[in-house]
Structure 1
Amino acid sequence: MTAMRGGVGNAHIFTRADRGTDRARRREVVIRAARDAFVDHGFHGASMEEISVRAQVSKPVLYNHFTGKVDLYSTVLQRYLDHMVGRIGDALRTTTGYENKARRMVSAYFDFVDEDDGAGYTLVFDTPVPSEPSVEGRVRIAMAECAALVAAELDAVGMDPYRARACAFGLVGASHLAARYWFDAGRPIPKIDAVDTTVALFWTGLSGIG
């Protein structure tokens, strides 16, 4: 009897684990479907009904995973923001030399804007959700995290902390604007040339800062 109870208990545990795996898998399908819908139609143009059709789940199942469209959009957005910050962090950690770090940082930003034909860039910077301040706040926080990573590198070479943060926000902001212009203009020059031009602007200025 004891063995039988143990066997039933183990089966119950495995069943719960399987249900958890199925739920996580279904959630990922919903997130991917939502990402495509938001990229294609923007926040306001995408509907929960369309997302449920793309994900091949019922609307009750959809709302079982997310409280509403803002919740779902925020989840998709945060993944792209984390990816953007991760790209910048990886570029800085895996590079030596001041100018090389600047180049890798700029290149990482251009790569993010260009990735998946601009899908992440569109979601992060071109899908306004004016009725939801928390969405804009997520973007600001991610940009500040990128700047903090750059500022840490400038601190490490002895730059005054205030000047390091001021320069870091300038570098991140300029990279953002340059990459956006390049992408919105239809990639008029090769990406490597756009990166070189942006780095040249940075390096000319940074090389004169003690």
Structure 2
Amino acid sequence: MTLLYNDVESAETPARTQRRLTVLSAARAIFVVQGYHGASMDDISVRAGMSKPVLYTHYASKLDLYLAVLQGYLDRMVDGIRDALADAHGQEDKVRRAVLAYFDFVDEDAGGHTLVFESPVPSEPCVRWRVRNAMGECAVLVSAELRAAGMDDVRAYACAFGVVGASHLAARHWLDAGRPIPKGEAVDTVVALCWNGLSGVQTSESNPA
């Protein structure tokens, strides 16, 4: 029986997808330990258990592979914020869950946090764009909740970036400092800062001088 090209492509898709996942898993492990410049496609192919020619059928260069790994972490970060806000009840709880999502992100995978926020290839425009875009997506999610609470678009977006920036910087400091206090206490501190500040903005808008 003769198979059409699409039939062959479809039949090979699951195996190719699995190989791609294997490559990404191997690359994550190598990049986290050795960094971008210290890693080599040889190291990654050995860890993935495949030849370099096969590796290059999935990713044309080390930078392409690095970007794929980076994007996976960025997607996880954005999804964490989205899920946190969807499960929250009330505005303060939404702020708390958004802050906690950042702390969970850096706490549960310090290597991923390093790749996202301390990329060894920041001079690459594509790396900077991906990180900036992901942070912007997080701010959009938070700003939507602030607008729903009655804040105007301009202030909502500005405050959302404040929440996002304070959360990820505080979480990084907490991790880099060796987790000096329990995560819950650290989250409470950042939430108090963000919530009191947001309440002040909302009050000033509802009671203009």
Q: Give me the TM-score of the superposition, normalised by structure 2.
A: 0.92
**TM-superposed deviation, 1:11:** 10
1:35-50 to structure 2, matched below 5 A, reads 35-50=28-43
Answer with 1 or 2: which has the greater Rg. Answer: 1
**TM-superposed deviation, 1:17:** 3.7
Q: Note the aligned Cα RMSD (angstroms).
A: 1.6
Following the alignment from structure 2 to structure 1, what is the Cα–Cα distance between the partners of residues 122 and 97? Answer: 33
SS at match of 2:88: coil
Change (3 A) 1:12 1:177: closer
The answer to whether residue 81 in structure 2 is matched with residue 56 in structure 1 is: no
**TM-superposed deviation, 1:83:** 0.7
The answer to whether residue 182 in structure 2 is matched with residue 184 in structure 1 is: no
- Tell me the residue number matched to 1:19: 12
Count of residues paired in the alignment: 202
Q: Which segment is superposed worse, 19-28 or 139-148? A: 19-28
**TM-superposed deviation, 1:12:** 8.9
- Tell me the residue number matched to 2:188: 196
Amino acid at match of 2:58: H
Following the alignment from structure 2 to structure 1, what is the Cα–Cα distance between the partners of residues 157 and 8? Answer: 51
Amino acid at match of 1:176: H
In the TM superposition, what whole-angstrom CA distance separates every residue of 1:150-180 from its partner, at most 9, and x where no partner exists? 0000001110110001100000000011000
**Runs of 4+ in structure 1 displaced over 3 angstroms?**
9-18
- Tell me the residue number matched to 1:4: none
Unpaired runs of at least 5, structure 1: 1-7
1:112-191 to structure 2, matched below 5 A, reads 112-116=105-109, 118-191=110-183
The answer to whether residue 71 in structure 2 is matched with residue 78 in structure 1 is: yes
**TM-superposed deviation, 1:43:** 0.7
**TM-superposed deviation, 1:107:** 0.4
Following the alignment from structure 1 to structure 2, what is the Cα–Cα distance between the partners of residues 191 and 174? Answer: 15
Amino acid at match of 1:139: V
- Between the two proteins, what is the percent identity of the paired residues? 61
In the TM superposition, what whole-angstrom CA distance separates every residue of 1:129-169 from its partner, at most 9, and x where no partner exists? 13421011100000000000000000011101100011000
Amino acid at match of 1:61: V
The answer to whether residue 85 in structure 2 is matched with residue 99 in structure 1 is: no
